[in-house]
Structure 1
Amino acid sequence: MSLRTLEQHTGLNRGYLSRLETGRIHEPADEPVQKVAAALRVTTDAITHEEKK
């Protein structure tokens, strides 16, 4: 899904989404994460899960 499409589905700014995608936002708020997860039809864990070391 493109950032433009994700922006349309979530109502979140494309610049913000880009920063999320590239990891420049280290601890995003719950609401934007939930919106992105819903738009992508995945759980929030699927997009926030960090690899266990």
Structure 2
Amino acid sequence: MSVKPDGPAIRRIRRAQMMSLRSLQALTGLNRGYLSRIERGLIHESADQRVRTIANALQVKPAAITQEEKT
């Protein structure tokens, strides 16, 4: 299953926690380039588990860093 990550929200939360992209990489095990592309909005869909991993590292609910489908 894939979800739409909200890159700017991820960046805002990460920066508010004074966390570097390298630190987020270390916490999630995800590639730093991949995380950067998500934050810049270049990745429009991501695996649900990856988004959950990012949310856990940021200590927020997945809904805080995903976009709702607008119909």
- Choose between structure 1 and 2 for higher RCO, CA contacts under 8 A separated by at least 6 residues: 2
Structure 1 portions without partners, runs of 5+: none
Deviations 1:1-53 (A, max 9, x none): 11100000000000000011011000111111001000000000000135x7x
RMSD of Structure 2 on Structure 1 (CA): 1.2
Name the aligned partner's letter for residue 23 of structure 1: G
Q: Give the TM-score normalised by the residue count of structure 1.
A: 0.88
Which residue pairs with 1:32 in the alignment? 50
Is 23-32 or 5-14 further displaced after alignment? 23-32
Moved >2 Å (runs of 4+): none
Q: How many residues align?
A: 51
Does 1:2 pair with 2:20? yes
Does 1:41 pair with 2:67? no
Q: Give the TM-score normalised by the residue count of structure 2.
A: 0.67
Structure 2 portions without partners, runs of 5+: 1-18
